[in-house]
Amino acid sequence: MDGSAPLADWKIGVDIGGTFMDFCALETRSGRVASLKVLTSPDDPGAELLTGLDLLAEREGLDPAQVSRFVHGTTVGINTILQRRGAKLAMITNAGFEDVIELARLRMPDMYSLFCHRPEPLIPRDRIFGIPIRQRADGSESPRADSAVVAEAVARAKETGAEGIIVALLHSWRDGGQEAAVKAMIEAEAPELFVFTSAEVWPVIREYERSSTAILNGYVHPRVAGYLTALEARLEDRGVPARAMLTKSNGGLMSAGEGRRDCVSMLLSGTASGVMGAAWLARQAGERRVLTLDIGGTSADFALIVDGEVQYGSDELIGEFPLHIPSVSVSSIGIGGGSIASVDGQGVLRVGPESAGSQPGPACYGRGGTRATVTDAMAVCGWLGHSELAYGQLRMDIGLARRAVAELAKRLGRGIEETAQAILDIAISEMFVEVEKLSSRAGVDLREFALMPFGGGGPMLGAFLARELGMNRVIAPRWPGVVSALGGLVADLRGDFIRTVFADLDPAALSGLQSAFQELCNAGRRWLTAQGHDGASELRLSADMRYAGQSYEIEVALKPAWLDDVPRIASAFHATHRQIYDFDDPDGRIEIINLRLSAIGAGPKPAFPQSDAPSTPAEPLRHVPIHLHGRREIPLFERALLTGGAAFAGPAVVVQEDTTFAIPDHVSAHVDRHLNIHLSFTE
């Protein structure tokens, strides 16, 4: 051996939000963690990636050639839907079923609003074409696909300017062969159009759910594919050898190559990644029941971690549209650090959902913003402005914040500080309502939970929200501003697969269940192999089940060994139904609608340095003035100087490079060995 030092090995997690792109970089040999925030560039999504890599190289000595793992979460897909800037699509379906997308489920988003309306479909009725083709429920076809009929539908689609076509036919959950045959005819007739079938995207029973999922996938495909192609080119240009991995809505990972086709799986990648990162940090800290609060520039996202496990759902909303694939269960509200405060025509102060974003941003950023935001209100109240923001990229201009808030104060006839506090109170109350809905749906008592705030704005408002919710504990991670980026570093590969079986739960159904399970297992193993995974893996089985006569089903965790034991499966369903609805019917007939399988490939888990020390009072850097029900002086601490065992009392301000932690009064704080700050309310 030549005695030279071993080469560094870097793993990088990146998450892009509405205002910043976050970086969390781990040098595995030393355990050193480097974090960074870079302002987004709305006109050129992804350009901030190069800026971030260059800054990490300049400040931390990162060599792009030594990056062995690169994981990215992006909002490109969801923003495409929210802004309705996706592809112009046409759809081919069965004759007589052209109105499925328009009819949807005949439910209004808000049944109590006289002014509520359903969203305009992503494919209007005049671009949906029915063809005389039918696959029966038993799998037989009559009539079969005819190439001349398909060619006519394609010609009409092209006349409307369609860029891509979705093929969604009846009963393709049972056999996708008919859709595949139509797809082949379209590709032969018009190779310039991209085509997706509902069965290849998500082969679930119910034609609306299957069709709408395929439409979401096609709608974002061109922008997502273009973004990922540019991402890989940028990484190659910088000499990064690691292949790009993407965070998924289900909290797992997939390759960027797969992401070009399976676009719908990454629509909630950023929010899901944040919850996964928070769950990992919570387990490290010994917290098993946690409410996560992720506040960025435009929204606040909430999720529950129960018994150390992230909660999943399959009906999350993407803007106005339901997403029917498995995803981390997250509730969102349009309240973030950049949310704009305004006075309506009746003289009422309101906050959000309009956001200042990164351009022009809050007034205090000095980037051209003139309207008061939540961040400006925090600055006016004195919680912000004591250090540089975003790793030195921003300097807080309190004068501009006061000027923006003063405009509202004048209209309200209040003082500037009083108006700023009102903005914060309204933001917290809006979040309170959303969290109460979440806890009611989940049937949990939040007094048994700890709140974990993260994101750039989470630590600013989290402790105040926890107090309003009656929660007694708050835990702030060491790098709260980049938890979503960290989530990519700790995530596993995860692929979800589904087979509709639609059978009564009785002994005659067991052979079909076992056969479907083997198909799912084979698909899961093939997927893990295609992702390049050769390490430890796990196959998790569940089923969508219901009592006969019910319209919708619940997901029940199963073990493969139970697939030859009807009473054991039934017992699991009864118990799950009772847990959710406080009711079960042991004598009721049970139906199994779908079998689900999650193929999980364990990824490497980082080891962060720890700091053990006896409990000692922390020394503040200085005292700063704030407005908290009147003017007062409170201690200010620097996060980097708080070691394990440090203790102090609120009110206080803790400043760090990625965020500011605002700590109210009547609170005791201590730092654990993982450098998390724990708050306990003393009254």
> Is 543 a residue whose pLDDT tops 90?
yes
Encoded tokens for 498 = 């589904």
Encoded tokens for 593 = 């609608």
- Check: CB of residue 172 under 8 Å from CB of residue 179: yes
What is residue 226's three-state secondary structure?
helix
> Is 4 a residue whose pLDDT tops 70?
no
> Among the ranges 106-115, 273-282, 314-323, which has the highest mean pLDDT value?
273-282
The phi, psi pair for 284, rounded to 5°, reads -60, -40
pLDDT-wise least confident of 285-299, 333-347, 348-362? 348-362
Cis preceding-peptide flag for 143 (omega within 30 of 0): yes
d(CA 61, CA 628): 42
| Amino acid identity, position 377 | A
pLDDT at 392: 67
Residue 518 CB coordination number (10 Å): 12
Arithmetic mean of pLDDT, 287-304 = 90
Arithmetic mean of pLDDT, 624-632 = 88
Q: How many residues does this entry show for the chain?
A: 683
Question: For 73-95, how does the pLDDT look when each residue is reduced to its tens digit (9 = 90+)?
Answer: 887 888 888 778 899 999 999 99
Question: For 248-274, how does the pLDDT look when each residue is reduced to its tens digit (9 = 90+)?
Answer: 999 999 999 899 999 999 988 888 899
Confidence of residue 210 (pLDDT cuts 50, 70, 90): very high
Question: Where do you find CATH 3.30.1490 in the chain?
Answer: 493-601
- Check: CB of residue 533 under 8 Å from CB of residue 601: yes
Cis preceding-peptide flag for 353 (omega within 30 of 0): yes
Give the DSSP letter of residue 491.
Answer: P
> Is 331 a residue whose pLDDT tops 90?
no
> CATH topology for 493-601?
Dna Ligase; domain 1 (3.30.1490)
- Check: CB of residue 208 under 8 Å from CB of residue 105: yes
Q: Which one is predicted more confidently, 90 or 439?
A: 90
Arithmetic mean of pLDDT, 235-253 = 91
pLDDT-wise least confident of 128-137, 216-225, 461-470? 128-137
Of 353, 74, 115, 382, nearest to 230 by C-alpha is 74
Percent of the chain predicted with pLDDT > 90: 59
Confidence of residue 1 (pLDDT cuts 50, 70, 90): very low
Mean of the per-residue pLDDT values for the chain? 89
Question: For 385-425, how does the pLDDT look when each residue is reduced to its tens digit (9 = 90+)?
Answer: 888 776 667 778 999 999 999 999 999 999 999 999 999 99
Confidence of residue 49 (pLDDT cuts 50, 70, 90): confident
HSE of 534, CA atoms in CB hemisphere, 13 A: 1
Arithmetic mean of pLDDT, 640-660 = 91
Of 91, 115, 351, nearest to 212 by C-alpha is 91
Start-to-end CA distance of the chain, whole Å, equals 62
d(CA 280, CA 272): 13
d(CA 678, CA 281): 13
| Amino acid identity, position 327 | S
d(CA 254, CA 628): 46
- Check: CB of residue 648 under 8 Å from CB of residue 669: yes
